[in-house]
Every structure is written in structure tokens, then in C-alpha cells.
Structure 1
Amino acid sequence: MKSRKLSSKTLIAVQVLVVVAFCGAYTMGSRDSRQAFNTVFLNQVTYPEVKIERKVPLQVAPLYDDPSVVTDEELAAVLKQVRPKFPRKHMKPNHVEHALRTWSIKSTFQDPSIVSGIEMRDFLIDHARFLASWGDEASPLLIDEPEGISIRWGSQVGGSVHHDHWLASLTEAGIHLDEPVFAPARRDMDINDVIQQSLRDFRLDEREVEWSAMAFGLWIPPVKQWKTTDGRSVSFDQLVQRLIRGDKQYGVCVGTHRVYSLMLLIRLDDEFDILSDRARANAYGYLERVRDLISVCQFEDGHWPANWMDGKTALTNPQEIPEYKNVIATGHHLEWLAIAPKELHPPHEQIVKAAKWIINNTTSHTEDEILQKYTFYSHVGNALALWRHTHAAKFWKEWQKTHPYVPDAKADNDAIEAPKPTL
């Protein structure tokens, strides 16, 4: 019987089919199977992904419903000021991120000029939506990585300003773990891929760790430590030590974001035991010192100064501080105090005075003026909603039922104008 020889064309065709089949299997395979292949055949170092046991992030609920801090009318007036009335052209990721953490993905508005929560979410997680706003005038916000997606951040145009702020904001806004994320390559990726990339890339010596701590804390418990790409182990204990390291004047937003992150980690530790006793005690002690400082530096009109960390000296030897920095300090302190136990509070009358000052300040500006400092004022809206044990989106939805949007600007303003707070 004669043997048949395969032609060169047949051999090439078979080889092509094998390669195509292999590439298809690799592409369609699970993350674990791809990592196993890369480790064995490509000598690539990989680390197990952190298994996240929830589809939606954890939430740290406010502890109070205190109308002496802010009434319904005052809250409505403030929230009206911080609605995300952004131009669709050149939408700033930093503005959108701040708006989302205040308003959530569920937010809807009767006024069509206001950007909804879904629209804000899609702008951040879909390169096509980002491209529609920026065209070729900005580099992509989402960056394709070999095993995930990272976020372009920094001072460049069209970027997310702070490291992991994109992730933390979407997390606080209630994003789902399996929500698709479309980077320029349009691969099959989701929020979990972004989280895993962020966990792998994290470095303790980064300039800003406040938002990494928040995002990781709201997603990965009861897991309390993980490995980075370079093989280093990172734990929530180490995050606490990193947050309390250095002078209080350092850190984002006059040192107040680290305070919020520490309080959030303590609240999460109450339920998931993610901190050692020593780390928890250190974090709690730090917050006690913050409490003591803001108890002695409040100005007569109610605001806490940007140099609050100077304690009584900030009051006896006042500095010339731009108003917006005092807005940052006062709004952010009210925010973390809303999720803090009373033992970490300054006297209650100080909280009330701070709230009345920030309400008056926020409602005295035009919407255009607020937009110029939107990131700072968004924290005011979130803080005051927390003090009424509610959320901006939930409160606004109910408020619109009895105070509907009227297209005429004057009528709209009259419909939801709140009385000025009295000190």
C-alpha cells in the first residue's frame, strides 16, 4: 500500500488551523488557565487573584438622622447646587467621579441638562463614551494592560486626578463587580479586572493611598492581605500605618481624606475583623487627636480652617486662607463625622455651627461658581445627606415629587429655594 505524502500547502493549512484553534482557546479560556499557561510556557510571574465574595460593594452607613444639623429644606437647597450640571463636551473625569460618589449610579433628574448616574457611569467605564466627549483632544482614560485595565491619572487633560479615585468613586456609587468595562481594545473586561489590576499595582510608598484604602476596603473583606506584582504582601494594617504616617498637614484636601479613610476602615473592621488590635488602636488614636484639634480651632462663624491641624494656634493666630480651602476642611470633617461614633465627635454644637456655615456658603454661590469648585462642594452635599441618614439620590427623588422641575429657570429656583440657615 502506497503511503501518501502531505503537500506543503496542506501542512501549512493544518499548522494555521492549529494556531488559530490555540489562540481561540487561549482567548476564550479562564483567567486562571491563561495565567497557568503564561507561568509554564512563557515563564511569566503571576499571582492568584483576590477572590471577591460579593457582587456589589460594601456600604458604611451613616449613624445619625439629625435635623438640627440640616433640615430637609436646607439639604434640598444644597443638593440643588451640587447637581452634576456638566457640559457633555469635555466632561472632566474628576468632576464626574466626585458627582457619582455623592449621587450614585441610581440618580435621576427631571431637568434634562443634568447628567444622570447611568450617563456618568458609562462615561467612565466605556472608552467610546469618553471619546464622544473628548475626541482626539485627550488620551484614553482607560488603559489596556496584559491582564486588566488601569486608569490614566494625574494632572494631564482628561485624566482622573488622583490614584484609584476612579475606582473608589465608582465603588461608593454602587458599581457591580461584573459591570463591563470597555477600554480602547474592547476586550471582555469588567470592574473585577480593574480591581485586580489595582491590587497588583499598589505600592505603599505612593503619594496618595486614601482612595486605594477605601476601594479595597469596600470590596475585598474578609480578605485582609494580598500580593502585588512584585511579590510583596500588603495588608490593611499596613494601609493604616501608611495613612497615619507623617504630619497631618500632608495628604489630599488638607489632610482630611486620610481621616475619612481611617474611619471607614475602622467601621469595616467592626464587621469583618480586617485590622489587628494594634492597627485599630493606632487608627482610633489618630482620630481622637483629630477630634481634639478641631474642637479647639473652630471659628466663631462655624467654619473649620484649612490649617485645622494647628489646633488652637489656627484660631489665636489666624492665617489668610482662601475660602475654598475652608470649604474643603469644613465639608470633609462633617463627612467623616457622620460615620463616626459620638466618642470621636467634637461638641455637638460645633457640628451644628459647621453645618450652618457650610450650608450658607454653598447656597450663597451661583451654580457657575459652584461648578468651578465642584469637587469640593460635592463633599458638602454628601456630608449633609449622611447627617440625615439618607443618600442624595434617594432624597432628591422624593423631593422632586413635591417640587417638580419647571423649565423656566426662575420658577425652578423659586420652587426649591430654602431659607437661609441661622446660627
Structure 2
Amino acid sequence: MKSRKLSSKTLIAVQVVVVIAFGAAYSLGSRESRQSFDEVFLQETFYPEVKIERELPLRVKPFYNDPTVVTDEELAAVLKQVRPKFPRKHMKPNHVEHALRTWSIQSTFEDPSIVSGVEMRDFLIDHARFLASWGDEADPLLVDQPAGISIRWGTEIGGSVHHDHWLASLTEAGIHRDEHVFAPAQRDMTVNDVIQQSLRDFHLDEPEVEWSAMAFGLWIPPVKQWKTSEGRTISFDQIVQRLIRGDKRFGVCVGTHRVYSVMLLIRLDDEYDILSDSARAEGYAYLEKVRDLISVCQFEDGHWPANWMEGKTALTHPEEIPEYKNVIATGHHLEWLAIAPKELHPPHEQIVKAAKWIIRNTTSHSEEEILQKYTFYSHVGNALALWRNTHAAPFWKEWQKTHPYVPEQKADNAPLVAPKPTL
């Protein structure tokens, strides 16, 4: 039998058909299969991206407006203490982040020495503004990545102290997803790029997941799981289980941030169904245990101790605890209770006692003393505002209408005399 040789035209036609078929298969294939092909054959790095359907983050609203917990006058007095009166030189990112989540980007102040919400935002998202404050005395806060921006965090000078705290704070402050973020080398990035970088870099075994949980929960629902750059699937179920794992003494701020994050995710699950029934039940049971513990460990003056997780033992065998740690415990518990349903509350009179103690404590210190522990006291301002079903910025804006700022005045040949204090 004679062998048949294919003509060059036939060979070209076959090749065209194969290319067309391959192209069709590629275009019709799943996103994952196309990415796998690009990685193997084109040696392209895969950067997973989560589709986010909103331009502004979600906000979990408080349930209550209770003047028995805090009156207008008491709230104003506390907020006055926690205004962001930061020096512009060497502004601490951790202070700015805490102030932003309490005051929001919309905050404005008549006193020019107070840093506005927009100024705080710009300090965090623009390397040039950070450089103006720190010069070459600190490494950049914003770190260029191949497909995004990460945040320098840790104990080094000029850094964000906690992982994803930058993102969580700006998120709670109401930043827009398309807001430009200007890193040292990349000038075309947005907040969305920071979110995506954080999502793909996330690890469940990180020491701190509290702020990652908050940021992801306020941005990506109804998405409930995603893949990291390592190909690992992460879900909100896993994050809840990670938050409630281990002894309650573990975690940032004497374990209270974990409590707030779990409560936040359960509230988001109410609307967006981001948790399985079993994970929600585990998280809810955890909060019930926290409720029971703080119900039996409150001191007579109203504060909850830093060792609240010991329950009655904290009362019967009290420890020598620095005051600021009791401020942390009391303020942070009031904060999560403001977004918690009543069935997760200790007796109401205990909430009132805790609020009165924290109000007395906050207003008894000078502004300089508050500034030294600003991060802890900022939570007090946020918690008490939530208990009046408001936030610091809108409340303060209304308060300033009837209590305007009065600058200090210096008469000729007279020493500087401080005016009568006003709120």
C-alpha cells in the first residue's frame, strides 16, 4: 500500500484547526484551569482575587440607645478626652488607626491642633504624607508587592503594631474601596489592592487574626471562602474556629478583641449567611461563656478585671493589675456588648456600673495621660458612642454647634491663662 503524504496546505489546515480547538477549550475552561495552564506553560505567577460587590464596607449597627449607660454630657466629656490631638511629627500609625476607627474619615474639629479624619486617612494611605512625618527615621509603612501593597507591622518604629490592623481600622472608618493608595514605588494602587493582598497572604496559624476577621467580614460577604496564593482555601468557619481556640486569656488586649471579632462575624452571618450552622453555634456558645464569666467577676466599683476569664476567682483571689489593663477589659467588653443581642448580656445593672466606672476613669485623667494610653481609651469612646446608637464624628459635630471651641488667648503683658474648660 502506498503511503500518503499530507500536503503542506493540509498540514497548515490541521494546525489551524488544532489551534482554534485549543483556543476554544482554553476560553471555555474554568478560571482555575486557565490559571494552571498560565502558571505551568507561561510561567506566570497566579494572584487570586476575590470579587467584592461593594464600594463601601459594611457597618454593623449597634442595637441600643441607652442614656442610662451614658448621657450626652458624659459621652461628650469622654470624646473630648480621646480626640486625636497628635503631634504631626512622628505620628504613630497605631494611634492614628485607633483614632480613625473611633472617629471615622468624616471627623472634623474646630480646634486646629486636632487631626481630622481626612488627614489621618492620608497619613496612612500616602507614603509622601508618612515621609513628611517621619522622614528617613522609619522604614515605609506601605510595602510594594508584585500585585498589591502590604503593610509593615510589628514593634519597629513607625509601623502598624498589629497584623491587618491598618486595613481593619480604615475599613471601620468607612474608606472607599477605590481610594488610591500611594506606596513608595507604586502609584496606581487602591484600597482594593491592599484587601486582595491581605486575603491571599492570610494564614490561619498567624498569632493575630482578630483584625483580618473584621476587615474580611466587612468587605467580602456574601463570599464566605476564598483561596490564598498558596492555593489553600480559607473560610469564615475556619476563622471563627481559630478565634475561639485555646484559653480565653490568649489574644490581643487580654483576649477581648477575639470576642468582638466573633460577635461581628455572627452579626454579619445574620444577614449574609457567611457561617455554617455548626460554626455559628460554636461561636455563639463561646460568647455565652464570656457572658457568664463577666457576670461573676465584676468588682464593686464597676470595672471588669484584666483576668476576667478566671470568673469568680478574679474576685476571690484578686491580682495586682495595672489600671490600664482594667481599662482595656472594661472598655472592650462594653464595645462588643453594644453590638450583641440582650441574651448575650450580663445583667443590665452591671453594664451601667461598668460604663460609669470607665467614664469616671477616662475623665479623671489629663489629655497627656490619655495620649500615653490612647489606643486603649479610644475603645472607650467608640463603645460609649455605640451605646447611644451613634458614632463619635456625627455626635461631636452636633455637640460643637452648642459647645464651640474657645481658643486660648494671651493678653498683653499677661501670662497665658487657660479659659474655663468647655466640652
In the superposition, the TM-score normalised over structure 2's length comes to 0.89
Q: 1:38 to 1:179 in 2, by over 3 A?
A: farther
Distance in 1 (CA, whole Å) between partners of 2:50 and 2:44 is 18
| Corresponding residue of 2:367 | 367
Distance in 1 (CA, whole Å) between partners of 2:77 and 2:418 is 14
| Corresponding residue of 2:275 | 275
Counterpart contact for 1:154–1:160, Cα < 8 Å: yes
Distance in 2 (CA, whole Å) between partners of 1:145 and 1:36 is 22
Distance in 2 (CA, whole Å) between partners of 1:116 and 1:40 is 49
Distance in 2 (CA, whole Å) between partners of 1:44 and 1:254 is 44
Q: 1:411 to 1:64 in 2, by over 3 A?
A: farther
Unaligned runs of at least 5 residues, structure 1 = 1-31, 417-423
Q: 1:366 to 1:38 in 2, by over 3 A?
A: farther
Describe the SS at the equivalent of 2:121: helix
Flag the structure with larger Rg.
2
Question: Is the aligned partner of 1:415 residue 2:389?
Answer: no
Counterpart contact for 1:47–1:227, Cα < 8 Å: no
**How far is 1:43 from its partner?**
1.3
Q: 1:413 to 1:173 in 2, by over 3 A?
A: farther
Supply the AA of the counterpart residue of 2:421: D
Supply the AA of the counterpart residue of 1:120: M
Supply the AA of the counterpart residue of 1:222: P
**How far is 1:186 from its partner?**
3.3
Unaligned runs of at least 5 residues, structure 2 = 1-31, 410-416
Describe the SS at the equivalent of 1:253: coil
| Corresponding residue of 1:113 | 113
Count of residue pairs the alignment pairs up: 384
Distance in 1 (CA, whole Å) between partners of 2:290 and 2:177 is 34
**How far is 1:201 from its partner?**
0.2
Distance in 2 (CA, whole Å) between partners of 1:159 and 1:295 is 37
Q: 1:121 to 1:321 in 2, by over 3 A?
A: same
| Corresponding residue of 1:182 | 182
Distance in 1 (CA, whole Å) between partners of 2:203 and 2:422 is 50
Counterpart contact for 2:48–2:229, Cα < 8 Å: no
Distance in 1 (CA, whole Å) between partners of 2:386 and 2:418 is 28
Spell out the pairing of 1:279-298 with structure 2 (5 A cutoff). Answer: 279-298=279-298
Q: 1:278 to 1:413 in 2, by over 3 A?
A: farther
Describe the SS at the equivalent of 2:207: coil
Counterpart contact for 1:153–1:159, Cα < 8 Å: yes
Q: What RMSD in Å do the two structures reach over aligned CA positions?
A: 1.6
| Corresponding residue of 1:355 | 355
Flag as ranges the 4+ runs of structure 1 deviating above 4 A: 35-38, 409-413
Describe the SS at the equivalent of 2:253: helix
Task: Give CA deviations for 1:379-417 in whole Å, capped at 9, x if unaligned.
Answer: 00000000000000000000000000000287665222x
Supply the AA of the counterpart residue of 1:415: T
| Corresponding residue of 1:338 | 338
Task: Give CA deviations for 1:97-119 in whole Å, capped at 9, x if unaligned.
Answer: 00000000000000000000000
Q: 1:278 to 1:367 in 2, by over 3 A?
A: same
Supply the AA of the counterpart residue of 2:195: I
Task: Give CA deviations for 1:319-356 in whole Å, capped at 9, x if unaligned.
Answer: 00000000000000000000000000000000000000
Supply the AA of the counterpart residue of 1:210: E
Question: Is the aligned partner of 1:103 residue 2:103?
Answer: yes
Distance in 1 (CA, whole Å) between partners of 2:279 and 2:220 is 18
Distance in 1 (CA, whole Å) between partners of 2:383 and 2:115 is 21
Question: Is the aligned partner of 1:314 residue 2:321?
Answer: no
**How far is 1:36 from its partner?**
9.8
Supply the AA of the counterpart residue of 1:85: K
**How far is 1:46 from its partner?**
1.1
| Corresponding residue of 1:53 | 53
In the superposition, the TM-score normalised over structure 1's length comes to 0.89
Describe the SS at the equivalent of 1:328: helix
| Corresponding residue of 1:376 | 376
Spell out the pairing of 1:13-412 with structure 2 (5 A cutoff). Answer: 39=39, 42-408=42-408
